[in-house]
Amino acid sequence: MSTPRPMTAAGLLLAALLTTLAGCSPEPLGRDARQARNGPRAEPAVVPHDVRPLIQPGRKYFGAAVAGAPRSMEPVEAYAGMVGKKPNLIETYASWGDALNEQGVRNAWEYGAMTVVSWEPHGTTLADIADGKSDEYIKKYAAEVAELRLPLAISFADEMNGWWNDWGTRNNEPADYVRAWKHIHGLFTEAGAANVIWTWAPNVIQPALSIDLKAYYPGDGYVDWVGLVGYFTTWEGETFDTLFGPTIDAIRTFTRKPLLLLETASEPTEARTAVVRSLFAGVQSRDDVLGFVWFDHNKRADWRLSSTPVALAEFKRLAADDMFGFDVRKP
């Protein structure tokens, strides 16, 4: 080991100066002090809810469309009491120009369910939407969705392949539908509304056999779920395979996106109990079918389960299977 050399006078003076300067160093600035010195800190960007676990969950969705929900959850609680299980998808309907029902979405979420909005462009045309004539409204809606920060499924202009709606085949071309969908999707992306599950939902193809569904498909980059609208009737089919099979086969020629029976129910006939069994069995048997939403309304026909007690009892028995239903807050 070498012996240190004695410090010179110049070295002693330099050491003293450094010690003095070190003793004058300010304390580290706290958050408030730093903000006072540097100015206001920018607010963090809105972070939307991560919807990816909800796009393909491990169990089946068990949904319902009931009058008054989700603005009020009392009808949902009554439905849950009737069928013995809480729905975890609540479908609601919004006309073009309606504001987002933020409280309704929160109500459903607190209950353990996600809201599905069927967004219906009454009073306009798909071409006008695609050309930007509703941009002010769409941007406001998208901003509200982004600020909400809760997952939300949106089905824009569903049943577009039928003739009975304003946005259907009588008044619109498939290309305008696709342009409108992509335009809306783009405005939501610009608003940071990544908490939307985009649900493309044609009607089952029996009423419109000549309609090419692929012509209406916006593309996998713009769709998360394929939602099917189909009702069990004597003229459309009273089994899962006859009602939904042809449409699923057609859709599988151009996309592998997961399927959801977005809107279904059965006529209150003697066949309803068998229909209920077929519905549950069909959804259970297919890994690519995420679940279903039962349309429990008295509209044009009495689709309510309560109208046929025997079928209701079978529905309740099958709904008890753990495969159906889960808290969407814990997918």
Cα separation, 196 vs 188, whole angstroms: 9
pLDDT per residue of the chain (331 residues) written in tens, 0 to 9: 433 334 444 443 334 433 443 443 333 334 333 344 444 444 435 566 899 999 999 999 999 999 999 999 999 999 999 999 999 999 999 999 999 999 999 999 999 999 999 999 999 999 999 999 999 999 999 999 999 999 999 999 999 999 999 999 998 999 999 999 999 999 999 999 999 999 999 999 975 567 899 999 999 999 999 999 999 999 889 999 999 999 999 999 999 999 999 999 999 999 999 999 999 999 999 999 999 999 999 999 999 999 999 999 999 999 999 999 999 999 8
How many residues make up the chain in this entry? Answer: 331
* Active-site annotation holder among 91, 159, 238, 267: 159
Identified catalytic residue from 91, 263, 267, 314:
263
Element (H, E) at 34: helix 31-38
**Residue ranges of E strands in 57-104:** 61-65, 89-95
120 is catalytic: no
Helix, strand, coil percentages, rounded to 5, for the chain? 40, 20, 40
263 as an active site residue: the answer is: yes
Please state the domain extents for the chain: 60-319
Residue 14: predicted pLDDT: 38
Classify domain 60-319 at the CATH topology level. TIM Barrel (3.20.20)
Task: Give the CB-side neighbour count of residue 123, counting CA atoms within 13 A.
Answer: 7
